[in-house]
Structure 1
Amino acid sequence: MPNCEQCGKEVILPFESKFCRCHFCLEHRLLD
């Protein structure tokens, strides 16, 4: 399971940034 790049929390359905291809949780999702 991927981890949030910001807080390190395991995320079941992560958000992937279109720019850096990193995964983020709902709380740390970046606006693309």
Structure 2
Amino acid sequence: MSQCDFTTEANVETLATEVACLKSHFNADP
């Protein structure tokens, strides 16, 4: 879970996971 996986298929679960991943990266900014 070091990098966000962006897939071509934009499913609802995929989008939610990507958003959560991005938020996690922004919130975990040192």
TM-score, normalised relative to structure 2: 0.19
Q: Which has the larger radius of gyration?
A: 2
TM-score of the aligned structures, taking structure 1 as reference length: 0.20
Greater per-residue helix proportion = 2
